[in-house]
């Protein structure tokens, strides 16, 4: 017995052949199945199944046991052998049925910055009266966690697809698979929901200070929000002035809030594509992205001007998204895949 | 050396079950395994579990290598360098399982243990096949498969309970059972093994030994184990005729008898002349790992070609009997053997070593002179055993040198071997050819199974003496001393008080009858399950209606049957995993909203919809109200079969 952990044999992988065959099979499946809607129930005809490495070892073992039983003419070891053969056959069908009738629905993909992994959320619902075990989503090299689904259960599975450029990231195809019950077989289904997720440009790590652009009024902006009229409370963020902490609210709720003031000050900042001190398009977008993040973090108003569109100064979640989206899709960003 | 990291406790959900499955598989081997192997397994199991519990690191690689080497050498030493066979094989498997535990880090590594567990169960079945071996193997498979499910749990296993895993494993096993049955019945059995079955040197042989030394061992340990069972096709012979011939000893060296020859003698059978009616029967013999085959004295026909008759009409198998064996035979209880004996054989059967047992020889010669004829002499010797102070006991004193002299003139206590030996020596001393037959005498008729059970405790030794023209004649000197031993068999003799001599209290009657039931069950088990061989399979399939079954037909039928059963299971699984149909009430309500012509808003409650509908189309108001009420009753009131029906009527009448 060596100290190297013994491992089950896996399929030898001839990289090119494996990929060629895999691609061809997947194209065939795509053609055969057609596209899927964002809510899809798995029909048994689209569930494929193959034995695993463990399954092959199991088959080999039962064959050896069969030879042994025949040689010894031992009827009890025949019982054991045929019981295991029966279990193998049953587990093949159980494995396939474990996926049949599951309902997959796309539950959105939050925008991410290029370089981060896009989180595609897919909800799987088990509408049958029996549990489904060992369910996993996968796409190429990434896979979700493995989970069980009790009767009536609906769970959200996440696929973290790595991104490297801005624009839309497409998840043309992903799979659902299971190894239940004994990992002797792997059954899977491919889904072609044509899912898309938005990828913002990746923020520049070191960005110059935003240029002191002039507002329409022609005076320089303040870098803090005005303090004229009390407008409301928001959660305390690090960096907020202690003078703005709403101590009364703290005494009441135990949570720190900052007072917000509606500025009579109309000062706001424009991030203009034309005024970024970079030559390359992508770098310019990265710098603006960085500025937007920073401005959003400090709750300043900002506007974005890129060739063809303009977003007047504002703040808030949806404004931030609009601005970043326009950067992500600028100049053919959506042509990237 | 890289820093050793502790385990992360991820095996805690599955490891105890893997250990339980392994322990259950090793349990039947424990009585055959050297103690150190069982201990090593237990220590490794506890050790590994503690490592996981306390998040410790696994033992260092060099420790594992050293342990592996030591254990492998230990197995070699324990089994005298013999590593084939069930004994050493199961020892190696147990040790491998134990050591593999110490390097199991990931959950999937436990596959190896579960495979080992299955092989250990298989090994225990090769070793012994009792009635309870079947439930044992079923339980072992359920346990192993439960552990298997625990091992391949989703993530940390928090989502599935042990109970669920156990139920899933049992359910799948239940589906597999009909498949197993179909394959078991139909898979063609073959009679000849592919390769030689390794004989397990470590396990002791049971049955009769090849020589007989009365006086060497001072007591006979009689096991209650079954030697063979007999089913008679004709009437059952009388107890005094139930002599089961085994081996025949003709060579005496002064202390012990030997020389039975298992090789084939082509004309041994032709020297037998049968008289009277034949007795036909079937013997199912337990494995002895010896060649001897037992048949009612004297067999003339038998079913298996591997069984041959030796020169003294003893039957032997060409190979040691390593498996339970069934054969048919025909015997005649009245016969003559060798009416003529050549001088060569006369010399052989009267040969005595010189200067051994001198007093016996002297006594024999005196008695022969007094008797006048050989026949009278035989009777006189038997009468001497009967009349003088000779005792039948299973625990006689040891005899030492000249055992026959010491027995006849000293102890006068012994069992069959002592009497047979003394009698044969006295015959030879006066030139009467004689030989010893070892076999079984008696047997117990089982009223439940209708068969005769012959046990090791029925082992017996008797003599044959040769008389001119008469041939070999069976003389059982023990019958002169303890006639009840012959008339009612060992069990009967014991029950009538002989048991006190044996040191046992008289068995209670109900215990005895329970034993009979158990024996009958075992006989059926042997016949139907263990003995299901090529012949039994053929006749069973013919009985089921298959015409002239051969292996092609069997394989074909098996394939179709298995496919059919798998199909049924698949359909069953489909029904099991189909989402339930939509609620009847909901379907009818939808029909109602379609008929009304006013689409309901998303998530609009039925009452709100009813009000809106009534405002929109006043002529339908009353009906809409009624349908809505029926719907609410059908949907939300306690279940009532009439509610759906009246809703259906209301919907159908609506807006017609």
Q: Does A86 touch chain B (CB under 8 A)?
A: yes
pLDDT of B159 reads 67
Q: Which of B92, B126, B152 is the last residue of a domain?
A: B152
Residue B400, classified by CB atoms within 10 Å of its CB into exposed (0-12), middle (13-18) or buried (19+), is exposed
pLDDT score, position A333: 58
Domain covering A35-200, topology: Immunoglobulin-like (2.60.40)
Rounded to whole angstroms, the Cα distance separating B509 from B518 reads 14
**Percent of chain B beyond pLDDT 90?**
32
With contacts defined as CB-CB under 8 Å, which chain B residues touch A127? 579-580
Do B375 and B453 lie in a common domain? yes
Q: Is the peptide bond before B546 cis (omega within 30 degrees of 0)?
A: no
Residues B89 and B236 in one domain: no
User: Catalytic residue positions of B?
Assistant: 416, 460, 476
CA B359-B360-B362 angle, 5° bins:
65
Residue B95 and residue B165 in one domain:
no
d(CA A36, CA B486): 87
Q: How far apart, in whole angstroms, are the C-alpha atoms of residue A320 and residue A202? A: 14
> Are residues B272 and B144 part of one domain?
no
Judge if B360 and B245 occupy the same domain: yes
- Do B144 and B166 fall within a single domain? no
Q: Is B569 an interface residue toward A (CB < 8 Å)?
A: yes
In a domain, B199, yes or no: no
Q: How much is the pLDDT for A33?
A: 81
Query: Which chain B residues touch A70 with a CB distance below 8 Å?
Result: 189-190, 193-194
User: Which stretch of A132-141, A145-154, B219-228, B243-252 has the lowest confidence by average pLDDT?
Assistant: B219-228
Over 50: is that where the pLDDT of B26 sits?
A: yes
Q: Band of the pLDDT at A223, cuts 50, 70, 90?
A: very low
Position A221 confidence tier, pLDDT thresholds 50, 70, 90: very low
Q: What is the mean pLDDT of residues B580-601?
A: 80
What is the nearest CA distance from A163 to chain B, expressed in angstroms?
26
- Please give the C-alpha separations between residue B527 and each of A272, B131, B449, B533, in angstroms, as whole numbers: 95, 12, 11, 10
Q: B532 in a domain, yes or no?
A: no
The span from the CA of B567 to the CA of B569, in Å, is 5
Mean pLDDT for the stretch of residues A106-120: 89
Q: Do B573 and A5 touch (CB under 8 A)?
A: no
* A182: chain B residues, CB-CB within 8 Å: 145, 148-149, 152
Name the closest residue on chain B to residue A131, using Cα atoms.
B577
- Provide the terminal-to-terminal Cα distance of chain A, rounded to the nearest Å: 50
Average pLDDT over residues A234-262: 72
Q: Tell whether the model's pLDDT for residue A153 goes beyond 60.
A: yes
Which class for A161: exposed (0-12), middle (13-18), buried (19 or more C-beta within 10 A)?
Answer: buried
Q: Lowest-confidence range among A7-16, A54-63, B207-216?
A: A7-16
Task: Classify residue B609: in a domain, yes or no.
Answer: yes
Asked if A257 contacts A234 with a C-beta cutoff of 8 angstroms, the reply is: yes
Is the pLDDT reported for residue A260 higher than 80? Answer: no
Q: B44 CA to chain A: closest CA distance, Å?
A: 15
Contacts of A129 in chain B (CB under 8 A): 576, 580
Predicted confidence (pLDDT) at residue B173 exceeds the cutoff of 90: yes
Q: Which helix (H) or strand (E) holds B173?
A: helix B162-186
Average pLDDT, chain A: 81
Q: What is the pLDDT of residue B623?
A: 85
Predicted pLDDT at A80 = 96
Q: Is the peptide bond before B298 cis (omega within 30 degrees of 0)?
A: yes
**Which strands make up the sheet holding B434-441, listed edge to edge?**
B295-296, B243-249, B434-441, B459-467, B471-475
- Of the ranges A17-31, A211-225, B96-110, B175-189, which one carries the lowest mean pLDDT score? A211-225
Q: Which residue of B has its CA nearest to A75?
A: B530
Cβ neighbour number for residue A265 with a 10 Å cutoff: 16
Same domain for B433 and B333: yes
How far is residue A223 from each of residues A172, A265, A298, A311, B564, measured CA to CA in Å? 44, 11, 9, 19, 79
Least confident of A118-132, B171-185, B219-233: B219-233
ipTM: 0.76
Give the pLDDT confidence score for residue B57 in this predicted structure.
86
Residue A269 is predicted with a pLDDT of 79
Q: Return the axis-axis angle of helices B111-127 and A53-72, rounded to nearest 10°.
A: 10
Of A65, A86, A183, the CB nearest to B180: A86
Least confident range of A33-47, A137-151, A219-233, B198-212:
A219-233
Of B110 and B10, the one with more pLDDT: B110
- How much is the average pLDDT of B329-339? 90
Question: In this structure, are strands A195-200 and A112-113 parallel, antiparallel, or unpaired?
Answer: parallel
Interface test with A, best of B152, B157, B174, B583 (most A CBs within 10 A): B152
- How many structural domains does chain B have? 4
Q: Which 3 state secondary structure label does DSSP give B470?
A: coil
How close A286 gets to chain B, by Cα (Å)? 38
Residue B47 lies in a domain: yes
Q: What is the mean pLDDT of residues B605-623?
A: 86
Residue B117 class from Cβ within 10 Å (0-12 exposed, 13-18 middle, 19+ buried)?
buried
| Model pLDDT, residue B502 | 41
What is the mean pLDDT of the segment spanning A309-313? Answer: 85
Q: Which of B151, B154, B529 to mutate to test the interface with A (most CBs of A within 10 A)?
A: B154
State which residue of chain B sits closest to A83, comparing Cα positions: B180
Please answer yes or no on whether A182 and B570 come within 8 Å at the CB atom: no
Number of H helices, E strands in chain B: 23, 18
How is residue A53 written in tokens? 């490495």
Residue partners of B97: CB distance under 8 A and separation at least 6: B22, B26, B41, B113, B116, B117, B120
| Measured distance CA(B613)–CA(B590) in Å, rounded | 14
Report the distance separating Cα B493 and Cα A5, nearest Å. 63
Nearest to B424 by CA among B336, B350, B484, B340: B350
The answer to whether position B601 is within a domain reads yes
Contacts with B, A 112-131, CB within 8 Å = 127-131
Question: For residues A156 and A133, is the Cβ–Cβ distance under 8 A?
Answer: no
Among B268, B324, B266, B321, residue whose Cα is nearest residue B299: B268
Over residues B400-415, the pLDDT tens digits come to: 788 899 899 988 888 8
Region B85-112: mean pLDDT is 88
Whether A57 sits inside 8 A of B195 (CB atoms) is: no
Minimal Cα distance from A55: which residue of B? B111
Residue B569 CA to residue A304 CA, distance in Å, equals: 64
pLDDT in tens, B44-92: 999 999 998 888 888 888 998 999 999 989 988 888 877 777 888 899 9
- B176 in A contact zone (CB under 8 Å): yes
Nearest chain A Cα to B60, which residue? Answer: A3
β-strand partners of A103: A41, A125
> Residue B194 and residue A67: Cβ atoms within 8 Å?
yes
Cβ–Cβ of A148/B160 closer than 8 Å? Answer: yes
Pair type for strands B272-285 and A302-306: unpaired
Among the partner residues A44, A54, A65, nearest to B111 by beta-carbon distance: A54
Residue B544's DSSP bridge partners are none
For residues B316 and B427, membership in a common domain is answered with: yes
Q: B318 in a domain, yes or no? A: yes
Q: Find, in chain B, the residue whose alpha carbon is nearest to that of A7.
A: B109
Q: Which of A83, A131, A180, A183 to mutate to test the interface with B (most CBs of B within 10 A)?
A: A83
Is the pLDDT assigned to residue B500 strictly greater than 50?
A: no
Give the model's pLDDT for residue B443. Answer: 85
The number of CA neighbours under 13 Å toward the Cβ of B217 is 11
Assign B423 a pLDDT band (cuts: 50, 70, 90). Answer: very high
Q: Do the domain assignments include residue B503? A: yes
At residue A104, what are phi and psi to the nearest 5 degrees?
A: -110, 130
Which A positions 278-317 lie with beta carbon below 8 A of chain B? none
Q: Tell me the pLDDT band of B308, cut-offs 50, 70 and 90.
A: very high
Q: How many CB atoms lie within 10 A of CB B54?
A: 10
- Whole-number pLDDT of residue B221: 54
Domain boundary (B459, B486, B510) is at: B510
Residue at B249 is within a domain: yes
Sequence-separated (6 or more) residues with CB below 8 Å from residue B476: B243, B420, B441, B460, B462, B463, B486
What band does A229 get if pLDDT is binned at 50, 70 and 90? Answer: low
Give residues 7 to 66 of A whose Cβ lies within 8 Å of B.
8, 44, 54, 57, 61, 65
The number of C-alpha atoms within 13 Å of A332 and in the hemisphere containing its C-beta is 4
Per DSSP, helices labelled H in B79-157 are: 86-101, 111-127, 133-151
| Per-residue confidence (pLDDT) for residue B222, from 0 to 100 | 62
Task: Determine contact: B64 vs chain A, CB below 8 A.
Answer: yes
Chain A residues in contact with B61 by the CB 8 A cut-off are 3
Which has the minimum average pLDDT: A162-176, B342-356, B628-642? B628-642
Which chain B residues are Cβ-neighbours of A98 within 8 angstroms?
A: 577
Say whether pLDDT at A209 is over 50: yes
**The three-state (H, E, C) secondary structure of chain A, written as one string:** CCCCCCCCCCCCCCHHHHHHHHHHHHHHHHHHHCCCCCEEECCHHHCEEEECHHHHHHHHHHHHHHHHHHHHCCHHHHHHHHHHHHHHHHHHHHHHHCCCCCEEEEEEECCEEECEEEEEEEEEECCCCCCEEEEEEEECCEECCCEEECCCCEEEEEEEEECCCCEEEEECCEEEEECCCCCCEEEEEEECCCEEEEEECCCCCCCCCCCCCCCCCCCCCCCCCCCCEEEEEEECCCCCCHHHECHHHHHHHCCCEEEEEECCCCCCEEEEHHHCCCCCHHHHHHHHHHHHHHHHHCCCCEEEEECCEEEEEECCHHHHHHHHHHHHHCCCHHHCC
**Residue B176 to residue A2, Cβ atoms within 8 A:** no
Do B72 and B141 lie in a common domain? yes
B394 closest CA partner among B504, B258, B487: B504
CB-CB under 8 Å, A76 with B129: yes
pLDDT of residue A8: 52
d(CA B426, CA B371): 13
Average pLDDT over residues B155-166: 75
Mean per-residue pLDDT for B562-589? 85
B625 and B563 co-located in one domain:
no
Torsion of CA B314, B319, B320, B326, to 10 degrees: -70
**Å from A141 to nearest chain B CA?**
18
Please tell me the predicted confidence (pLDDT) of residue B11.
Answer: 83
Confidence of residue A88 (pLDDT cuts 50, 70, 90): very high
Q: Which of B485, B510, B535 is the last residue of a domain?
A: B510
pLDDT of residue B536: 83
Tell me the C-alpha to C-alpha distance, in Å, between residue B416 and each of A275, B221, B434.
120, 13, 16
Who has greater pLDDT, B216 or A318? A318
> What is the C-alpha separation between B441 and A101, in angstroms, rounded?
70
Decide if B471 contacts B462 (C-beta within 8 A). Answer: no
Range of the domain at B37: 15-152
Tell me if B331 sits within 8 A of B295, measured CB to CB.
yes
Contact B148 A182 (CB under 8 A): yes
Same domain, B286 and B418: yes
Q: Are residues B367 and B322 in the same domain?
A: yes
């Amino acid at each position: 017995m060596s100290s190297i952990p013994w491992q089950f044999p896996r399929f030898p992988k001839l990289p090119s052949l494996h990929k060629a065959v895999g691609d061809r099979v997947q194209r065939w499946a795509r053609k055969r199945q057609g596209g899927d809607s964002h809510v899809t129930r798995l029909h048994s005809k689209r569930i494929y199944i193959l034995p695993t490495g463990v399954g092959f070892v199991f088959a080999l073992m039962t064959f050896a046991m069969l030879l042994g039983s025949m040689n010894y003419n031992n009827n009890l070891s025949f019982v054991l052998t045929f019981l295991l053969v029966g279990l193998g056959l049953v587990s093949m069908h159980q494995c396939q049925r474990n996926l049949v009738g599951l309902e997959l629905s796309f539950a959105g993909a939050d925008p991410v910055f290029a370089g981060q992994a896009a989180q595609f959320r897919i909800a799987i619902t088990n509408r049958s009266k029996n549990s489904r075990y060992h369910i996993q989503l996968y796409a190429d090299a990434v896979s979700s966690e493995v989970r069980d689904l009790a009767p009536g259960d609906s769970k959200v599975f996440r696929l973290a697809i790595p991104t490297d450029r801005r624009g839309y990231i497409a998840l043309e195809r992903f799979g659902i698979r299971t190894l239940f019950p004994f990992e002797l077989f792997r059954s899977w289904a491919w889904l072609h929901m044509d899912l898309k997720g938005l990828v913002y440009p990746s923020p520049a790590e070191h960005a110059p200070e935003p240029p002191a652009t002039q507002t329409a009024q022609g005076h320089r902006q303040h870098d803090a929000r005005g303090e004229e009229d009390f407008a409301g409370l928001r959660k305390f963020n690090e960096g907020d002035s202690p003078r703005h902490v709403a101590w009364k609210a703290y005494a009441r709720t135990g949570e720190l809030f900052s007072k917000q003031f509606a500025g009579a000050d109309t000062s706001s900042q424009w991030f203009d594509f034309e005024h970024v001190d970079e030559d390359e398009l992508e770098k310019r977008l990265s710098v603006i992205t960085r500025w937007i993040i920073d401005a959003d973090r400090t709750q300043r108003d900002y506007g974005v001007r890129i060739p063809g569109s303009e977003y007047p100064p504002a703040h808030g979640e949806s404004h931030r998204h609009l601005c970043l989206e326009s950067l992500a899709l600028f100049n053919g960003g959506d042509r990237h895949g | 050396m890289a820093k050793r990291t502790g385990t992360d406790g991820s095996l805690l959900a599955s490891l105890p079950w893997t250990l339980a499955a392994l322990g259950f598989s090793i349990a039947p081997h424990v009585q055959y395994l050297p103690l150190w192997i069982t201990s090593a397994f237990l220590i490794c199991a506890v050790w590994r579990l503690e490592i996981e519990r306390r998040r410790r690191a696994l033992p260092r690689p060099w420790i594992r290598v050293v342990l592996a080497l030591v254990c492998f050498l230990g197995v070699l030493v324990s089994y005298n360098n013999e590593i084939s066979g069930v004994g050493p094989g199961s020892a190696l498997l147990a040790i491998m399982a134990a050591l593999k535990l110490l390097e199991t880090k990931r959950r999937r590594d436990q596959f190896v243990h579960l495979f080992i567990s299955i092989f250990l169960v298989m090994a225990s079945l090769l070793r012994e096949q009792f009635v309870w071996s079947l439930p044992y193997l079923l339980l072992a498979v359920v346990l192993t498969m439960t552990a298997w499910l625990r091992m391949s749990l989703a993530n940390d296993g928090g989502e599935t309970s042990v109970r669920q895993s156990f139920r899933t494993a049992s359910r799948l096993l239940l589906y597999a059972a009909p498949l197993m049955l179909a394959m078991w019945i139909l898979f063609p059995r073959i009679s000849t093994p592919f390769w030689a079955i390794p004989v397990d040197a470590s396990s002791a042989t049971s049955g009769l030994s090849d020589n007989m030394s009365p006086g060497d061992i001072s007591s006979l340990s009689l096991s209650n184990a079954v030697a063979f069972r007999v089913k008679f096709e004709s009437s059952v012979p009388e107890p005094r005729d139930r002599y089961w011939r085994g081996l025949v000893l003709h060579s005496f060296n002064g202390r012990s008898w030997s020389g039975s020859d298992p090789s084939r003698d082509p004309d041994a059978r032709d020297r037998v002349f049968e008289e009277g009616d034949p007795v036909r029967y079937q013997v199912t013999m337990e494995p002895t790992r010896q060649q001897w085959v037992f048949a009612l004295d004297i067999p003339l026909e038998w079913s298996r070609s591997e069984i041959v008759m030796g020169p003294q009409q003893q039957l032997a198998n060409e190979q040691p009997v390593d498996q339970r064996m069934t054969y048919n035979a025909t015997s005649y209880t009245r016969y003559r053997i060798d009416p003529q004996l050549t001088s060569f054989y006369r010399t052989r059967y009267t040969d005595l070593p010189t200067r051994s047992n001198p007093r016996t020889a002297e006594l024999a010669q005196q008695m022969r002179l007094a008797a006048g004829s050989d026949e009278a002499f035989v009777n006189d010797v038997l009468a001497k055993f009967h009349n003088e102070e000779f005792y039948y006991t299973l625990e006689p004193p040891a005899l030492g040198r000249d055992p026959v002299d010491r027995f006849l003139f000293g102890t006068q206590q012994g069992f069959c071997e002592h009497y047979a030996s003394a009698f044969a020596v006295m015959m030879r001393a006066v030139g009467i050819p004689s030989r010893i037959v070892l076999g079984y005498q008696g047997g117990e008729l089982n009223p439940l199974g209708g068969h005769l059970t012959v046990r090791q405790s029925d082992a017996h030794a008797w003599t044959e003496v040769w008389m001119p023209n008469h041939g070999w004649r069976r003389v059982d000197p023990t019958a002169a001393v303890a006639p009840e031993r012959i008339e009612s068999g060992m069990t009967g003799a014991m029950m009538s008080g002989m048991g006190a001599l044996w040191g046992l209290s008289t068995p209670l009657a109900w215990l005895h009858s329970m034993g009979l039931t158990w024996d009958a069950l075992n006989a059926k088990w042997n016949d139907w399950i263990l003995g299901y061989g090529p012949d039994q399979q053929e006749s069973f399939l013919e009985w089921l209606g298959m015409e002239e079954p051969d292996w092609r037909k069997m394989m074909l039928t098996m394939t179709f049957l298995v496919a059919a059963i798998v199909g049924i299971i698949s359909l069953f699984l489909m029904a099991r995993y189909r989402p339930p149909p939509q609620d009847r009430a909901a379907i009818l309500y939808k029909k109602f909203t379609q008929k009304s012509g006013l689409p309901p808003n998303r998530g609009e409650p039925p009452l709100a919809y009813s009000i809106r509908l009534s405002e929109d189309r006043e002529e339908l108001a009353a009906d809409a109200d009624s349908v809505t009420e029926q719907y609410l009753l059908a949907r939300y009131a306690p279940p009532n079969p009439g509610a759906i029906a009246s809703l259906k009527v209301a919907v159908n009448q609506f807006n017609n």
